[in-house]
Amino acid sequence: MARLVLVILGKQGAGKGTQCARLSARYAIPHVSTGDILRGAVKAGTALGREVAAVLAAGELVSDELVNRLVEERLGRPDAAPGVLLDGYPRTTGQAAALDEILGEAGVSLCVDLEVPVELAVVRLSSRRVCVECGTIYRESDPEAVSGTCSKCGGDVVRRVDDEPEAITARLSAYERDTAPLLDFYRSRGLLVGVDGTREADEVSAAIEQIVAARGLA
């Protein structure tokens, strides 16, 4: 079976993290997000990690060129040989083109766009709470959110600054602006599929798995 490379797109609050965790277990391939790559490189103290640390320490944004190199390094690890779920990368058509070069002839298997209306995304994000240590996401009604303590690692569970209403609106606007060309990029290659992200998580997972199976990807 060919390497399974799934790019997962969707507005903030669309459920990308939830679906990537499920699909990672289903297909036994790693869930790789841009944030994970950056944190992992810095923690590992690799040459690229030191470059990232220096950029972040200076309060600057990590360049596309550096992110592309980090992704290439991550995809070269043994656990990514069978495939990978990419969350938060690519973010631009330039990064998408770089990803094609990294992957070579096989390329991206499928790009899944989790579709949710802005109104629902705002509701989901404003009720989200996150562990500052391990990144586990909770709903505001979950015991961990109420107590402020993560059940997985004991870290503090908080409402992130970028999940405040004003920040949410700005982030969603930026996503719509920046991602539209990326959707066109994968649509023109016949790789883009839209999945209704408003349904229950189990139904969304089943829909993605059906599409993967129908295309003979796994």
Per the CB < 8 A criterion, the answer to whether 1 and 29 are in contact is no
Q: Is the peptide bond before 117 cis (omega within 30 degrees of 0)?
A: no
Q: Reduced to 3 states, what is the DSSP secondary structure of residue 33?
A: strand
* 26 is known as an active-site residue: no
Q: Reduced to 3 states, what is the DSSP secondary structure of residue 79?
A: helix
* 11 is known as an active-site residue: no
* 199 is known as an active-site residue: no
Please report, as a single letter, which amino acid is at residue 92: T
DSSP secondary structure letter of residue 78: G
The residue annotated as part of the active site, out of 11, 16, 22, 129, is 16
The residue annotated as part of the active site, out of 91, 159, 187, 199, is 91
The residue annotated as part of the active site, out of 22, 74, 128, 129, is 128
How many residues are recorded in the chain?
218
What is the per-residue burial (b if ≥16 Cβ within 10 Å, else e) of 85-98?
A: bbbbbbbbeebbeb
Torsional class of 61: left (φ above 0), alpha (ψ -120 to 50), beta (otherwise): beta
* 69 is known as an active-site residue: no
Question: CA-CA distance, 40 to 34, in Å (whole number)?
Answer: 10
The residue annotated as part of the active site, out of 3, 26, 159, 171, is 171
The residue annotated as part of the active site, out of 50, 139, 152, 160, is 160
* Catalytically annotated residues: 16, 91, 128, 160, 171
